[in-house]
Amino acid sequence: MKKGLRLWSLLTIAFISTLFLITSLFYGLMIYQTAHSVRKTESKLLLSIGKQLSIDPLVKQVLTTHTNEKALETYATDIYHIYNLDFVVIMDMQAKRLTHPDASLIGKPFQGNDEKEALKGKSYVSFSKGSLGQSLRGFVPIYGDNKQQIGVVALGIKVQTLGMLINTFRQGYTIVLFTSIAIGFIAALGIAYYLKRQLLNLEPKEISQLLEERNAMLSHTNDAIIVVNSDKVIQLSNIAANELYEKTSGPGLTLTGLPLEALIVELDAVSLDSKREQLYRQNGQEYLFSSAPIIIQQKPIGWIIFLRNATESLFVMDQLANTTAYASALQAQSHEFMNKLHVIYGLVDLKAYDELSIYLHDILSPEKEFSHRLSFLVRNPQIAGFLIGERQKFSERKVTLLFDISPEIPETHDDDETLAIMNCYRYIHHLLLKIALPEELQILIQYANDNLTTTYTLELDTQQQVILKTGCEHPFFKQLRKEAKATFTIDSNNQTVVLQLGTPYHEVS
């Protein structure tokens, strides 16, 4: 998979690019506003100085009498030096210059062709090119004592001078711009590093992949999984956990945001800090409870909790134990069979027929020959091993299982069908071991027309019958019967209880 930019680099570039774009835009706007403000300020200054000159007595006297022109030139020179102007030109109504920074141009016509409106009595500012180059000019008409226009004063600042003023401001803005970018770059690195640490140094693609993997695990597991915070409030729950909660609280409800006690009612019965699986019982069902702390940056922030149906786990353990028991029984049977043949052969050879009769009666007793007879009556090794294991399990409770198998159970190649039958057996036996049983338990297994019918007959008091019936109505047993396509009935007559399980079982053709 092609790798893209790392998150740290991506965040830094994005932050710096955004900062650079914003500051550059701001910088451009400020330069434009500064240039416009400088022009406007200088325009007002030109007009203000021009109006001041237009009412000056010396200016009026020279324009009226055409005398004392040297004094006017000196006065004009002082003005543009004082106000940092590039020129101050006073002209008469024929646009002839009376003053100019270049003495050789005095007495010559004004250049630029932008003075015509001023000769008509208007005050304004314009850009034009004259003898000193391109400049910003201000024109103000001069009136005599009789209110008649007698001339015009023109003041100007060259474009180069305006540029220098603007550059002065621009230098300050440029320093601020690069300083902001430098600070922004450092801040971007810091923020990117902080976010990277908060994301556990994971890249966005890695986070999305982990999220999809987590969702897949949570959605497709049969165990109830929930995540709680340090306050024991549920933050996340999978489908199995929500279904478990809906069984007691109604459909359409979710666990997110509820306290942990909403799902695990007896929270004191388990420990969240234990590293081992704990057996937890709720609503008549046993669960294997396990939890693990969630630690981020060496700080615990909550727990992840797993609830597994203990019955299913016990079924798997029983299946492994039964398979082992069946294999051991076959091994022992083979060895014992050869020993018995040698004993029989020896007794016959010695003509000890009385001892032979006693010996044959002893080895053919139901208890000792159960596994031997089972190998002939049950051709399915998985079911045979299961029945051997169940007989041993019940014998530990001082209960004898009396199997009556008629006719023999043939072999089948459908392992799923066999597993479904054993799961139903296993659940029924699990229920029986939880109640007080008589010393003997009759089990009749009949095979006919691709169907296996198993009948349990036992004596129970009323209280034990209620417990047994409640267990047979459990949703898990219903699911097992559905998977096995089985039928099940439970009947009672006084203290006699009859359980009958019918399952499809197809012989090898």
Confidence of residue 25 (pLDDT cuts 50, 70, 90): confident
Confidence of residue 1 (pLDDT cuts 50, 70, 90): very low
pLDDT tens column, 126-140: 877 777 777 888 899
Structural contact between residues 87 and 132, judged by C-beta atoms closer than 8 angstroms = yes
Angle (CA) 125-127-130 rounded to 5° is: 115
Cβ neighbourhood burial of 341 (10 Å; 0-12, 13-18, 19+) = exposed
DSSP codes joined into one string, 25-77: HHHHHHHHHHHHHHHHHHHHHHHHHHHHHHT-HHHHHHHHH---HHHHHHHHH
Q: Work out the end-to-end distance of the chain between its first and last CA atoms, rounded to an integer number of angstroms.
A: 52
Highest mean pLDDT among 132-141, 155-164, 242-251, 320-329: 132-141
pLDDT tens per residue, range 373-417: 676 788 888 888 888 878 878 887 788 888 888 888 888 888 888
Nearest Cα residue to 296 out of 215, 209, 217, 230: 230
pLDDT at 483 over 60: yes
Lowest-pLDDT range of 75-79, 200-204, 278-282, 371-375: 371-375
In the predicted model, what is the mean pLDDT of the chain?
Answer: 81
Confidence (pLDDT) at 456: 92
Q: What is the CA radius of gyration of the chain?
A: 54
Q: How many CA atoms lie within 13 A of 411 on its CB side?
A: 7
CA distance 322 to 382: 8
Sheet bearing 234-237, strands edge to edge: 234-237, 224-229, 299-309, 285-296, 278-282
Range in 16-30, 288-302, 427-441 the model is least confident about? 16-30
Q: Which two structure tokens, joined as six digits, stand for 243? A: 């279904």
What is the per-residue pLDDT for 57?
87
Per DSSP, the residues of 439-464 read: SEEEEEEEEETTEEEEEEEEE--HHH
What is the reported pTM? 0.40
Side by side, which strands form the sheet with 149-158?
Answer: 87-92, 149-158, 133-143, 124-130
HEC letters along 96-138: EECCCCCHHHCCCECCCCCCHHHHCCCCEEEEEEECCEEEEEE
pLDDT value at 262 more than 80? yes
Which distant-in-sequence residues (6+ apart) come within 8 Å of 298 by Cβ? none
Give the alpha-carbon dihedral of 30, 31, 33, 35, to 10 degrees: 160
Evaluate if residue 214 carries a pLDDT over 80: no
The Cα 266–Cα 289 span in angstroms is 12
Cis amide linkage into residue 475, ω under 30° from 0: no
- Does the pLDDT at position 328 exceed 80? no
Rounded Cα gap, residues 124 and 253, in angstroms: 80
Return d(Cα 305, Cα 241) in angstroms, integer.
10
